[in-house]
Amino acid sequence: MAMRFPSLEFWQALERLEQEKPISLVGEAGGDALIGLSVDEHAFMLEFEDGICEAVALGGNPNDMDFTLSGPEEAWRELFVRIGAGDDVADCFDDLVGPSASIQVESLQDEGIELFASRRPLLEAFFAEAGALEID
């Protein structure tokens, strides 16, 4: 069954998939992070503790986020369609996520962009699970 995107249910399903098969990363990549996701006017928050997604919620205060990934729905859909088609997640991130890409990395904190770089493997592993989800 296809899931509506963007929706809290989509991110919660992704969280459940990750918790069934936790990501095993060491060092900084597997640490804690509070990450905002902005899809057009829809805002979501992912909370990672020790490299595991512990919470997904609507909204979130940008001041509390380590960084936010922000982009139009079309770019997010392209990311998840490509992942679902079996494209390499790192290549998808290279093409679609970054300072001059469709999905921008934003932060109100000086170290936020650097934190994105260190947490990128965590996000790539988390988003890789999206290949199991069909979006509507």
Return the pLDDT at 24. Answer: 54
**Containing domain of residue 81, as a range?**
8-124
3-state secondary structure of 109: coil
Hey, CA dihedral for 130, 82, 48, 69, is it positive or negative?
A: negative
Per-residue pLDDT at 72: 97
Separation CA 86–CA 62 (nearest Å): 32
- Tens of pLDDT along 29-78? 567 889 999 999 999 999 988 878 888 899 988 889 999 999 999 999 99
Residue 135 lies in a domain: no
Domain CATH number, residue 47: 3.30.1050.10
> For the chain, how big is the Rg over CA atoms in Å?
13
Residue 1 lies in a domain: no
Q: Which range has the worst mean pLDDT, 17-26, 64-73, 80-89, 121-130?
A: 17-26
Q: What is the pLDDT of residues 5-27, one digit of tens each?
A: 888 888 888 888 777 775 554 45
Residue 89 in any domain: the answer is yes
Domain count, the chain: 1
Residue 22 has a pLDDT of 59
Q: Residue 104 burial by CB count (10 A; 0-12/13-18/19+): exposed, middle or buried?
A: middle
Residue 129 lies in a domain: no
Q: Does residue 2 belong to any structural domain of this protein?
A: no
